Amino acid sequence: MAKDEEVLVIPALLLDQLGPFSGFQPNVERYLPAILDRANQSFRPRSLVESDPSFKQLIPYVILECSDANESRIFQYTRGKGQGEKRLHAFRSIGIGGHISVEDAEGDDWYKNGMQRELDEEVLIECSGQQRIVGLIYDDSSEVGRVHLGVVHIMQLTCCKVQSKEDQLEASGFQSVDQIKSDIENYETWSQLCIKHLYM
């Protein structure tokens, strides 16, 4: 029997104390210090927390952005069947990321370790870039949303050269913001929230 993956979570009570919200939350300064405080974090079996909304699984959600021909372009893809979260298969996405695993628990910043590992596993970025955290996402309208808390990053790249390293990232590549906005109904909820709050 395969070993159950242990993933990084925070207690839902912490969000209640900081100020409950639903949807996209741009006020990251209010939440991040407590969310990223190791005293509020723990690793728990994924099989248990996937159905336990009293814990929120922390998910880095990195948007890769570049400028080409004087327009902003965003890396997007379709989630294939091999990706871990079956409830999101076949949806398009602008976010790269995944769970922080117990294997990331080295050094001072478990969250950053996990974010970098996910990026390295999923894409090959062929240039430099700078990232910043621009918001949080909590979607209590769906079963999958109620057990995850997304930390939204924008990574501004110096070029539009990114390749998928996983077959599960299908039909991937950069598209203009206008193209993505015109196709917004085909994107997963988190991506829709990001598009509406960051690009409209």
User: What count of other Cβ atoms lies within 10 Å of the Cβ of residue 26?
Assistant: 12
Residue 104 has pLDDT above 80, yes or no: yes
DSSP letter (8 states) at residue 187: B
Q: Return the pLDDT at 81.
A: 60
Please give the tally of structural domains in the chain. Answer: 1
Work out the average pLDDT over 117-131. Answer: 95
Average pLDDT score over the chain:
91
Residues 70-86 have pLDDT tens digits of 889 999 999 776 545 45
Sign of torsion over alpha carbons 85, 163, 91, 68: positive
For residue 164, being part of any structural domain is answered with yes
Residue 162 counted as domain residue = yes
Q: Are strands 55-68 and 148-157 parallel, antiparallel or unpaired?
A: parallel
Residue 24, CA distances (Å) to 92, 177, 192, 195 in order: 18, 19, 10, 10
What is the domain-level CATH number for residue 167? Answer: 3.90.79.10
Cβ within 8 Å of residue 54, ≥6 positions away? 11, 12, 13
Rounded to whole angstroms, how far apart are CA atoms 191 and 83? Answer: 16
Cβ atoms 123, 36 nearer than 8 A: no
Please write the tens of the pLDDT for every residue from 45-62. 999 999 999 999 999 999
Q: With respect to residue 1, please indicate whether it lies within any of the assigned structural domains.
A: no
Give a yes or no: residue 48 inside a domain.
yes
Summarize the confidence of residues 26-42 as an average pLDDT.
96
Q: Residue 25: inside a domain, yes or no? A: yes
pLDDT of residue 30: 97
What residues make up the domain containing 31? 6-198
127: pLDDT strictly greater than 90: yes
81 domain-assigned? yes
